[in-house]
Each structure stands twice: as structure tokens, then as C-alpha cells.
């Protein structure tokens, strides 16, 4: 066994060899490839030199492959087929028949907004497509997308990272949620009452810094008490429904809470910033048909 320097090999010779092994005739192989018989004979001589084997020898009914040529026939055909598919362009992806599993990175709030609509779509567009939903980690998401550990990230906040592409899709605003019979909150909420109420703050990353509500109150010389700081959006409305806590969350999420829990929504008394939920993916899969398809499906689900 010896190393072969491909830069010193005319790779077209492999196409000639594949055709010779199929036709078992120099004349027929030459005609099929549109070259002269003498040129094909010259190619066969070069192939014999490369492999150190006659490859094809004369016999009854035409030229017969040697044992070495028989060993080469199947791997050569597979290699040329794979190369041809690579050069032809994008691989085919049919979601209606594919059983691929996509990995999405999303926090619990985003997953709650996205998954019901997305799964409803997949029932018709990709009935055998499966999903793995993993936590969105702002410190690791870029590496996960780069290595393919994650196919697509869905979040309201993407820390800057090289070679990543992002698209904003769903505009969101904030609203306050309190229990239906809250003794201190009527149809509206003033800033002073808002500041005095005990708050539950959802902090997915577990950081202890100020949130959007703290910054808004600070501009008016007010400060709130965060009675409960929690990482999980889905647990927060349960606390609100049974206590006098107030929760300030994205409107779409609060509307889902109000459908199933005894909570009601009240507009915040101070202006809060708006934001957008979007998707992020690595540029290496920008043109991949499968990744492009799941991006389209997630985009559609977020817009609905």
C-alpha cells in the first residue's frame, strides 16, 4: 500500500476506467465518451501504469476485467456517483417523506409560543419530522450552531457571534398580570402602586441585575421590591394566580396564561421597550434545503 498524490493523477482517468469496466470494450467506451479509439487506448495504458495491473485483457466475447479491476469496480462507481451528486448542487430534501430530527434551542417562554403552532403545521407539511427542543444558552448557542449540535436557535436576544445569521420575526410588548381578585389593582394601574406591589421577576439566565421594569421605574425615582426571582416563565403565573404578586411579561405569553389561569392583564403604567422574537442559524447551513425548510416553518409559526 502506498500513498497516492492526487495532484499528479488525471482524475478524468477514473471516469474512463468506469466506462471501460461497464463496456468491456475500448471502441464502445470511446464512442460513449465521444473520444477516439486511440485516445481511449492511451488512457487505458495510463491506467495500467497507475494501478500496476492490466485491468482489462482480451478474452472470449471481448475484454475481461482482471481480479484487481473487479475489486475497483464497485467502490469506483460509488465514488464517482458521490462526486457527481456533490457537483450537481444542493441535496434533495422532501419534508413529506423525511424522518429527520431537528434540534431547536429555545427557552420555555419561546417554546410555549412556538411549539403548538409549529407542531400543528408539521402534521401536514412534515408528518414524520421529529423535534428536540433544548434550552437556549446565550453563552453556548453560537458554538452549538457552528458544530451542528443545534440546527436553529429561537430567542428574543442573540449575543453577537461571528458567522451567524439572524432574522427578527415576531414583535412583542410587555403587559402586567395579576390575580383576578387582586385587592390593590383595578382596571388600571398607576406607577406608584406598581412600585409598591411585590413583584415576581423571571430571569432565565439567573442574573441578579435590573430588568426593564426596574429601569423604567428608576427614571421616575421609583423602586420596586422583587419578592420572587425565578428562572422559569411557566411557574411565574401560578404564583401570581394565588398571591398578590404582579408579573410583567411578554403580551403573547400573558394572554396564554389568562386563558387557563385566574389572572387578568393590565397595561403597565410606564412605557416599556418593545422587542422581537427571531431565529438564528449558522451561515454554513444557509443554503441547506433541510435547514432552510425548518427556518421557514418556524418563521411561519412565529408570525401566526
Task: Provide the pLDDT confidence category of residue 84 given band limits of 50, 70 and 90.
Answer: confident
Is the model's pLDDT at 50 over the cut of 80?
yes
Domains annotated for the chain, with CATH where assigned, are 6-88 (1.10.10.10), 101-170+276-303 (3.40.190.10), 174-272 (3.40.190.10)
The H-or-E segment that residue 246 falls in is strand 246-250
Q: What is the mean pLDDT of the chain?
A: 91
pLDDT value, residue 205: 72
- Average the pLDDT over 135-141 and give the result: 91
Q: Is 85 exposed, middle or buried (0-12, 13-18, 19+ CB in 10 A)?
A: exposed
For residues 33 and 19, the answer to whether their CB atoms sit within 8 Å is yes
Q: Rounded to the nearest 10 degrees, how much is the dihedral formed by the CA atoms of 47, 50, 51, 53?
A: 60
pLDDT in tens, 249-288: 999 999 999 999 999 999 999 999 999 999 999 998 998 9
Give phi and psi for 277, each to the nearest 5. Answer: -90, 135
Amino acid at each position: 500500500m502506498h500513498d497516492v498524490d492526487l495532484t499528479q493523477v488525471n482524475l478524468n482517468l477514473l471516469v474512463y476506467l468506469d466506462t471501460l469496466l461497464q463496456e468491456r470494450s475500448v471502441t464502445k467506451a470511446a464512442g460513449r465518451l465521444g473520444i477516439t479509439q486511440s485516445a481511449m487506448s492511451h488512457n487505458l495504458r495510463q491506467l495500467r501504469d497507475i494501478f500496476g495491473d492490466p485491468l482489462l485483457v482480451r478474452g472470449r466475447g471481448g475484454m475481461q476485467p482482471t481480479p484487481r479491476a473487479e475489486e475497483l469496480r464497485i467502490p469506483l462507481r460509488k465514488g464517482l456517483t458521490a462526486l457527481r451528486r456533490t457537483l450537481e448542487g444542493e441535496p434533495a430534501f422532501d419534508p413529506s417523506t423525511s424522518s429527520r430530527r431537528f434540534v431547536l434551542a429555545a427557552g420555555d417562554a419561546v417554546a410555549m409560543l412556538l411549539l403548538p403552532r409549529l407542531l400543528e403545521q408539521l402534521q401536514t407539511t412534515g408528518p414524520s419530522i421529529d423535534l428536540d427542543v433544548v434550552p437556549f444558552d446565550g453563552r453556548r448557542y453560537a458554538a452549538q450552531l457552528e458544530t451542528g449540535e443545534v440546527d436553529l436557535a429561537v430567542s428574543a436576544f442573540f449575543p453577537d457571534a461571528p458567522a451567524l445569521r439572524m432574522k427578527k420575526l415576531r414583535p412583542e410588548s410587555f403587559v402586567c398580570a395579576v390575580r383576578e381578585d387582586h385587592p390593590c389593582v383595578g382596571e388600571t394601574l398607576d406607577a406608584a402602586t406598581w412600585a409598591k406591589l411585590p413583584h415576581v421577576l423571571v430571569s432565565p439566565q439567573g442574573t441578579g441585575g435590573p430588568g426593564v421594569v426596574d429601569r423604567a421605574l428608576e427614571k421616575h425615582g421609583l423602586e420596586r421590591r422583587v419578592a420572587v426571582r425565578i428562572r422559569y416563565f411557566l411557574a411565574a403565573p401560578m404564583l401570581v394566580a394565588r398571591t398578590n404578586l404582579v408579573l410583567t411579561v411578554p403580551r403573547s405569553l400573558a394572554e396564554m396564561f389568562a386563558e387557563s389561569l385566574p389572572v387578568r392583564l393590565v397595561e403597565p403604567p410606564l412605557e416599556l421597550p418593545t422587542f422581537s422574537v427571531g431565529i438564528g442559524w449558522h451561515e454554513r447551513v444557509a443554503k441547506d434545503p433541510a435547514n432552510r425548510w425548518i427556518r421557514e416553518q418556524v418563521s411561519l409559526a412565529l408570525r401566526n
